[in-house]
Amino acid sequence: MTQVAGAESATLSDQAFQRIAKIAISDAGLLIPPSKKALVQSRLSRRMRALGLVSVDAYIDKVESAKDVAERRELISILTTNVSSFYREDHHFEHLRSHVFKRFEQKLLAHERVRIWSAGCSSGQEPYTIAMEIIKNLSLSARSDILVLGTDIDPAILERARKGVYSEAETSSINSDDRDRLFVRQGASFHACEKLRSLVRFRELNLHSTWPMAGPFDAIFCRNVLIYFDDAHQKALWPRFRSKLTPDGFLYLGHSERIHPLEKSGFISQGATIYQKAQ
């Protein structure tokens, strides 16, 4: 008879926590400090109950097994914090409107492609916000080659992003006219319209693995993601982001994130958490 894991049996020892933290840093660059031990235990307990496991060590053994790659990915997913909202850190979208969209308009008129990458897009609010601004501010035609790519390490959260369905509370930061025009209300939820969804593609991606997309991107949003990485993994990303940007492309970071040291990064600062690829 399969035993069901209870609260006591799922107690996370310091040694077990270190094993989990080691997997998180090696597989995804996620830095999990000891202060997060209770949170990790809570998330592991839910997963163990779903699997019918009693012992934390048995679960970690399963994750570490070369035969269970899927569960290893599941662990990274449950350790990931998925927080997002529409128009979060609005000064970035103001920068798009005032400094970047004119360039996009010129490229589209010249029949050139425009690509924007939302890295760590969570449940999709960020890429859909970018798409809303594109619709509102650019003259689009059937020939316009413009696309927003949203990527995240968590396949479950990406499924929600693809559906584009949000509650009234989640859409409260959207201007009511824009919400009425670009979302379809069904009961208590709001569904992103086809025009909005057609501008966005979602893909699963671990930022610390191979990036299959060719680029280049005219802008990259990677906001409130790097705060979960250690310094070494953060620094490893700067040249990779730079290599994926167009010569005058922009990189947008979260409010508490900075490129350091800036002078050696190949970027120049263009405002609060806004960076441009240096020539």
The catalytic site residues sit at 43, 152
The H-or-E segment that residue 88 falls in is none
- Degrees, nearest 5: CA angle 216-101-219: 30
Separation CA 96–CA 103 (nearest Å): 10
185, β-bridge pairs: 190
HEC string for 191-220: EECHHHHCCEEEEECCCCCCCCCCCCEEEE
Instruction: Give the 3-state secondary structure of residue 167.
Output: strand
Give every strand in the sheet of 146-152, ordered side by side. 200-204, 146-152, 114-119, 217-222, 245-253, 274-277, 267-269
Helix residue spans in the chain (DSSP H): 14-28, 37-51, 56-64, 69-79, 91-95, 101-109, 125-137, 155-163, 176-182, 194-197, 231-243
Separation CA 53–CA 4 (nearest Å): 6
Separation CA 154–CA 203 (nearest Å): 10
Selection from 168, 86, 184, 171 nearest residue 131 by Cα: 86
203, β-bridge pairs: 151
